[in-house]
A and B are shown apart, each in its own frame.
Chain A
Amino acid sequence: MKAHRPLPPGIHFIQGNQALAEGALAAGCDFMAGYPITPASEIANRLSQLLPPAGGVFLQSEDEIAAICAAIGASWAGRKAMTATSGPGLSLMQEGIGFAVATETPLVIVDVMRFGPSTGVPSVGLAGDVVQAARGSHGDYQIVALCPESAQEMFDFMIQAFNLAESLRCPVFVLPDGFLGHMREQVRIPPREELKLVERRLAQGGDPMSRVDFLDPQVAPMPVFGRGLKAHVTGSCHDRHGMRNLTDPQVMHAYATVPQEKVLRRRDLMPPPAADYQEGEVVLVAYGTVARSARAAVALARQRGLAAGSLCLKTLWPLPAAELARAARAARALLVLENNTGQLFPYVKAEAAAHCPVEFMGPRLLGQIHEPEAVAARIQEMSP
């Protein structure tokens, strides 16, 4: 039986989904549960090849709900676990996502976003799940979401995603769109020595009533199973020992708020936006494949003597509020570009509108990224 091997270090010309799969393996992923779905299936296909020779497990689940549950179970069994899906699958996973948040489970969830709503157009990209990733489950919570814009970032952001998941004990989303999943570009795969990987801190001993297993803003060591730690892990409201508590208002408040604080206080660990702007410009705010249009539009606009800049987001959630406010204070106006009808836009506006006008522009036709010429024309309209 011939074992499949990951791509060796060097420059490769590969599909975005493959780059993501190679990145997952390089990050130390040793468990994936997934269900086939366009345009993400290539990730499962590739990891089903790469995981077993590396001692890992690939499970093709009976449905997406089983996939996220199995990944969470594997994480509690000590593995670096992930799943990959698209919009419809993410919708199915929402209850599981809430469970991962509430139980502080390290987990990476890839959503190769496609045209919706509903079955929509499976092979066309759309930034359709930007809000769903953050708010799709019930209740009040915070997650981390990274948005790659190139096949290189498909590889790199998987490393960052696993590191963030291990550091923060929370679900971390990677949100390419379908175009990025399927396009082929140059990717540099670094040698292993260059990679800096983070492992979760593990609880060392004792019993649950004398340990803090949950609800530490600085991230409690995880009482991984199989080590005699007698962990109690529940999606019910619980205290710092993991014991269910449905009556103490202080416990309820901590259960809902401390996991949020835990994520929000470590924005320093998350990739910052790429800023290219100066005072008084129309600043384009974009992410993912649309960021390419944004940069092309800025180049066009500058050629025409217009004052234009860009702020390309790499982390979508938590929203880079400080960077957005800074850009808004400097800018003449912000123009938010998204390949949807405005999912991040209201959130950007909430941070920025006190400082400058904030407008939205979608592509001429949804499911295509913005034509730089059209964006440059809009910049012109917004300029003095």
Chain B
Amino acid sequence: MKPLSPAEHPLRKYFRPHLKRTTTCPGCGNGIVGQAVLWAIDELSREDGLSLDDFAFVSGIGCSAWVPSPSFAADTLHTTHGRPIAFATGIKLALPRQKVMVISGDGDLSAIGGNHLIHAARRNLDLTVVMINNGIYGMTGGQTAPTTPPGLRTVTSPYGTLEPNFQVAELVRAAGAAYVARWTTYHPRQLRRAVKKGIRKEGFAFIEAVSQCPVQYGRVSGLGKAVEILEHFRRNSVRLEAARGMDPLELEGKILVGELADRQEEELGRRWRRLHQALSGEAA
């Protein structure tokens, strides 16, 4: 076997050169999602002439937010908790030609950041949001998230979570997003294709990536390590098309994967450009 230096991984060129190692726990799904994003951009670089400099990455607080920051060699804004979409909205409206991508976690985007998520979807601003959903607050030690399945004993629900959980992709679709998809880390190729489609989509694109947190979620769910959680994703993923013909009881505890929405809606930036043109014509 010919020894390769770590620099020769085909995606290494997208990383800041001075960084030597990944910062995730062994088996963490963040790296799989991060790879899917970079492979998508890699393909777009060949097909659409995009480079990493055409992007701005925005992330919040939590393990998932460490996917672009500090690793990606691109303009990166690592924000306060829950707010990456709010910051991204300002960046995109101010610099419309930049591709703005948010990569953050389920707690960050659907709990503290929930309001910004639904309004960005409503506005249909051209953002691509990848929500890495591990069903828990990992970085702070395993507290309940709005996505944690009921009944689980987390560190803040020691008697079992009493609350129902969000289906975030469905929520975002209802709020008006132009493109919504959900896949798991068991589906890295589909994730890559969904991210690519989301970047190309002119409008609010939301990709939910259900992902394993072996250290916290694996412990509280009893599922254990990365391999076991991935197997759980494989066994419990149901394609949306198949789910339509199934009994709701059969679908309990299942992960619905596929594209929930792919629609054409005039994007907010485009409306702003039309307004600017109309007003500047008048000024002449």
In the complex, are there CB atoms of A and B closer than 8 Å?
yes
By a beta-carbon cutoff of 8 Å, the part of chain A in contact with chain B is: 1-3, 31, 33, 52-53, 55, 57, 59, 61-63, 65-66, 69-79, 81, 95-96, 99, 208-209, 223, 225-226, 228-236, 243-244
Could you say which of B214-222, B232-240, B271-279 contacts chain A?
B271-279
Contact of B56 among A70, A81, A208, A226 (CB under 8 A): A226
Q: Are A229 and B79 touching (Cβ within 8 A)?
A: no
User: Which chain B residues in 104-163 approach chain A with CB under 8 Å?
Assistant: 115-116, 119
Q: Are B70 and A232 touching (Cβ within 8 A)?
A: yes
Task: Please count how many residues in chain B sit with their CB below 8 Å of the partner chain's CB atoms.
Answer: 41
- Is B89 among interface residues, defined by CB-CB distance under 8 A? yes
Q: Are B18 and A230 touching (Cβ within 8 A)?
A: no
Q: List 17 A-B contacts (CB under 8 A).
A: A3-B282, A31-B90, A57-B93, A59-B93, A61-B89, A73-B58, A73-B86, A73-B87, A74-B94, A78-B94, A209-B16, A209-B17, A223-B75, A226-B95, A230-B52, A230-B73, A232-B69
A3-B279, A229-B75, A232-B76 in contact; A69/B86 too (CB < 8 A)?
yes
- Is B261 among interface residues, defined by CB-CB distance under 8 A? no
Q: Are B91 and A231 touching (Cβ within 8 A)?
A: no
Contact of B86 among A3, A66, A208, A235 (CB under 8 A): A66
Q: Are A225 and B116 touching (Cβ within 8 A)?
A: no
CB distance from A7 to the nearest CB of B (A): 16
Q: Are A31 and B283 touching (Cβ within 8 A)?
A: no
- Is B97 among interface residues, defined by CB-CB distance under 8 A? yes
Q: Are A231 and B95 touching (Cβ within 8 A)?
A: no
Cα–Cα distance between A229 and B74 once the two chains are bound (Å) = 7
What A residues does B79 contact at CB under 8 A? 69, 99, 235
- Closest 9 pairs (CB-CB, A-B): A73-B90, A70-B90, A69-B86, A77-B94, A74-B94, A77-B95, A234-B78, A73-B87, A74-B90
Contact of A234 among B53, B56, B69, B116 (CB under 8 A): B69
Interface string of B58-83 (1 = CB under 8 A from A): 10000000000110011111111001
What A residues does B69 contact at CB under 8 A? 232, 234, 244
By a beta-carbon cutoff of 8 Å, the part of chain B in contact with chain A is: 16-18, 52-53, 56, 58, 69-70, 73-80, 83, 86-95, 97-98, 115-116, 119, 272, 275-276, 278-280, 282-283
Our count of residue pairs bridging A and B at CB distance below 8 angstroms stands at 139
Q: Are B80 and A99 touching (Cβ within 8 A)?
A: yes
What B residues does A31 contact at CB under 8 A? 90, 93-94
A228-B53, A230-B16, A236-B78 in contact; A53/B279 too (CB < 8 A)?
yes
Secondary structure at chain A's binding surface: helix, strand, loop or mixed? mixed
Q: Are A225 and B16 touching (Cβ within 8 A)?
A: no
By beta carbon, the residue of chain A nearest B59 is A234
CB distance from A6 to the nearest CB of B (A): 12
CB distance from A63 to the nearest CB of B (A): 6
Q: Are B94 and A81 touching (Cβ within 8 A)?
A: yes
By beta carbon, the residue of chain B nearest A99 is B80
Q: Are B278 and A70 touching (Cβ within 8 A)?
A: no
In addition to A230-B76, A232-B70, 17 A-B residue pairs with Cβ atoms within 8 Å of each other are A31-B90, A53-B280, A66-B86, A69-B80, A69-B89, A70-B87, A72-B87, A73-B58, A73-B91, A76-B91, A77-B56, A99-B79, A230-B74, A234-B69, A234-B70, A235-B79, A244-B69
Cα–Cα distance between A52 and B280 once the two chains are bound (Å) = 9
What B residues does A61 contact at CB under 8 A? 86, 89
What A residues does B94 contact at CB under 8 A? 31, 57, 73-74, 77-79, 81
What B residues does A244 contact at CB under 8 A? 69-70, 78
Q: Are B83 and A78 touching (Cβ within 8 A)?
A: no
CB distance from B80 to the nearest CB of A (A): 5
Q: Are B78 and A72 touching (Cβ within 8 A)?
A: no
Cα–Cα distance between A234 and B91 once the two chains are bound (Å) = 15
Q: Are B80 and A96 touching (Cβ within 8 A)?
A: yes
Contact of B276 among A55, A59, A76, A77 (CB under 8 A): A55
A2-B282, A230-B16 in contact; A72/B90 too (CB < 8 A)?
yes
Q: Are B83 and A96 touching (Cβ within 8 A)?
A: yes
What B residues does A231 contact at CB under 8 A? 75-76
Q: Are A52 and B276 touching (Cβ within 8 A)?
A: yes
Cα–Cα distance between A41 and B120 once the two chains are bound (Å) = 23
Q: Are B115 and A66 touching (Cβ within 8 A)?
A: yes
Cα–Cα distance between A261 and B97 once the two chains are bound (Å) = 36
Q: Are A70 and B80 touching (Cβ within 8 A)?
A: no
What A residues does B93 contact at CB under 8 A? 31, 57, 59, 70, 74
What A residues does B279 contact at CB under 8 A? 1, 3, 52-53
Q: Are A225 and B73 touching (Cβ within 8 A)?
A: no
Q: Are A69 and B90 touching (Cβ within 8 A)?
A: yes
What B residues does A76 contact at CB under 8 A? 77, 90-91
CB distance from B43 to the nearest CB of A (A): 21
